[in-house]
Structure 1
Amino acid sequence: MIKIGIIGYGNLGRGVERAIKQHADMELVGIYTRRAPETVTTDGAPVFTMESLTEQKDKIDVCILCGGSATDLPIQTPEYTHLFNTVDSFDTHAKIPEHFAKVDQIAKENQTVSIISTGWDPGLFSLNRLYAQSILPNGETNTFWGKGVSQGHSDALRRIDGVADATQYTIPNAEIIEKLKAGESLTLTTRDKHFRECFVVLEEGADADTVKEEIMNMPNYFADYDTEVHFISQEELNRDHKAMPHGGTVLHTGTTHENTKQVIEYNLYLESNPEFTASVLVAYARACARLAEEKTFGAYTVLDIAPKYLSACSDAELRKELL
């Protein structure tokens, strides 16, 4: 049995708890939270303080880190990789190389394994971009996200001073997608491909103009996009904007011999972004445990790991059933 510890218990942590129940070779040791354990209601898993985590080092094979990329994971992944094998969903694309380098050094020094930036993008979409570009080198890849709720961007909104709660939708440009699939060659900016829509509940006394300005100028999140901000009540947010749908498309258009057009397209349609992301994290926790067993210590991304490491099936079963 692969013994799992969950670090953090928001939407993603809840999704991980539920996903583990679908894997017969995994056991959930517990959930570790900054909140008072007695205030946390789970689907049956025991809850512990974050401080007690180090006392259970010998009971956990892999820690799945379920914090946000804006402020939690840059600190938590390096910190816990000192003692544990870890998996995270760090999704600030521009900072992944920096995050990887820091975690890789710590993992190698402490003989642990860390798989960073798992999920669907970065994650499954990253793999599909790699496959497409390798197969059709004479081509162009475009990634479109949504329409859906971005957990990372919503979390970044909620970290802004004066924001009580918020939800952010990423909306792809459907017209651009159809033009690309039809074979048109387009020069696209980040702003051309997506629109961002924010629904924000202000804390009492917060200045709307100040909050909006910070949102519109936030690097890596909103500064490079057309962004619309709506200030609404908590009641309205709870009623209309608490579901977690998402999805997206990796679209690679290329040519082979004598300009023959070829299109590779990969789509996800998700009713629950956190539950699906959690499912990816859990599969990579299995890979993390196997790499640790092999003593191949260090940091990894989805680009480094053979697909068979994700499966509970044997190599022979995979060759028979899937190949």
Structure 2
Amino acid sequence: MIKVGIIGYGNLGRGVERALKQNKDMELVGVFTRRAPETVTTEGASAYTMDELAAYRGKIDVCILCGGSATDLPVQTPELTHTFNTVDSFDTHAKIPEHFAAVDKVAKENQTVSVISTGWDPGLFSLNRLYAQSILPQGETYTFWGKGVSQGHSDALRRITGVADATQYTIPNTEIIERLKAGEELTLTIRDKHLRECFVVLTDDADADSIREEIVTMPNYFADYDTEVHFISQEELNRDHKAMPHGGTVLHTGTTHENTKQVIEYNLYLESNPEFTASVLVAYARACARLANEQAFGAYTVLDIAPKYLSAASDEELRKELL
């Protein structure tokens, strides 16, 4: 059995707890939280303080980190990788190289394994971009997200002083997608491909104009997109914007011999973004534990890990059933 600790218990942590119940080779040791454990309502898991985590060294094979990318994971992943094998879902694309370098240094120095930036993008979509570009090198790759709730962007909104709660939707330009699939060659900016729509609840003393400006100019999240900001009540947000659907498309258009057109398309349609992301994290936690058993210490991304490491099935079973 692979023994797992969950670090943080929001929507993603709850999704990890649920996903672990579907993986018979994995056992949940407990949830470790910055909140008072008695205030955390799990679905059966024991809850502990973060201070208690150190006592579980040698008793947990891999920690799944469920914090946000804006401020939690840049600190937590290197810090916890000193002692534990870790998996995270760091999704600030522009900062992945520096995050990888920081975690890799710690992991190699302390003989641990860390798999960073898992989930579906970065994660499964990253793999599909790699496959498509390798198979059709004469072509272009386009990634579209949504329509759906971005957990990372919503978390970034909620961390703004004066924001009580918020939900952010990423909305793809479907007209552009259809034109690409029809064979048009388009030069697209980030702004051409998506709209970001924010629904924000303010605290009583917040200044709406200054918060709107802080949102639309936020680097790595909103500055490069057309962004709509709507200020609404907590009641409206709870009623209309608390579900977590998402999805997206990786589209690669390319040519083979004599300009023969080929299209590779990969789609996800998700009723629950956190539950699906959690399921990906759990699969890569299995890979993380196996790499640690092989003493292959260091940081990894999904691009580095053979697919068979994700499966509970044996190599023989995989060759028989999937090839």
TM-score bin, normalised by smaller chain: over 0.9
Q: Per-residue deviation at 1:170? A: 0.0
Residue in structure 1 matched with residue 315 of structure 2 by the alignment: 315
Q: Per-residue deviation at 1:18? A: 0.3
Stretches of structure 2 that go unaligned for 5 or more consecutive residues are none
Could you give the per-residue CA deviations for residues 57-102 of structure 1, whole angstroms, max 9, x where no partner exists?
1210000000000000000000000000000000000000000000
Residue in structure 2 matched with residue 83 of structure 1 by the alignment: 83
Separation in 2 of the partners of 1:294 and 1:166? Answer: 43
Residue in structure 2 matched with residue 133 of structure 1 by the alignment: 133
Separation in 1 of the partners of 2:308 and 2:205? Answer: 54
Aligned-partner SS, 2:57: helix
For 1:295, the aligned partner's letter is Q
Q: Per-residue deviation at 1:161? A: 0.5
For 2:261, the aligned partner's letter is K
Residue in structure 2 matched with residue 272 of structure 1 by the alignment: 272
Aligned ranges 1:224-239 → 2 under 5 Å: 224-239=224-239
Aligned ranges 1:290-309 → 2 under 5 Å: 290-309=290-309
Q: Per-residue deviation at 1:48? A: 0.1
For 2:317, the aligned partner's letter is E
Aligned-partner SS, 1:152: helix
For 2:176, the aligned partner's letter is I
Q: Per-residue deviation at 1:5? A: 0.2
- 1:155 equivalenced with 2:168 (yes/no): no
Separation in 2 of the partners of 1:33 and 1:208? Answer: 32
Equivalent residue pairs, number: 323
Separation in 2 of the partners of 1:78 and 1:119? Answer: 19
For 1:83, the aligned partner's letter is T
Aligned-partner SS, 2:58: helix
Stretches of structure 1 that go unaligned for 5 or more consecutive residues are none
Aligned ranges 1:1-323 → 2 under 5 Å: 1-323=1-323
Q: Per-residue deviation at 1:305? A: 0.1
Separation in 1 of the partners of 2:28 and 2:98? Answer: 30
For 2:60, the aligned partner's letter is I
For 2:216, the aligned partner's letter is M
Separation in 1 of the partners of 2:58 and 2:308? Answer: 27
Separation in 2 of the partners of 1:263 and 1:216? Answer: 34
For 1:236, the aligned partner's letter is E
Separation in 1 of the partners of 2:315 and 2:23? Answer: 18
Q: Per-residue deviation at 1:142? A: 0.2
Q: TM-score, normalised by structure 1?
A: 1.00
Aligned-partner SS, 1:84: coil
Could you give the per-residue CA deviations for residues 10-63 of structure 1, whole angstroms, max 9, x where no partner exists?
000000000000000000000000000001100000000001001111210000
**Identical-residue share of aligned pairs (%):** 86
For 1:292, the aligned partner's letter is A
Quote the RMSD (CA, aligned, Å): 0.3
Q: Per-residue deviation at 1:309? A: 0.1
Could you give the per-residue CA deviations for residues 239-270 of structure 1, whole angstroms, max 9, x where no partner exists?
00000000000000000000000000000000
Aligned-partner SS, 1:165: strand
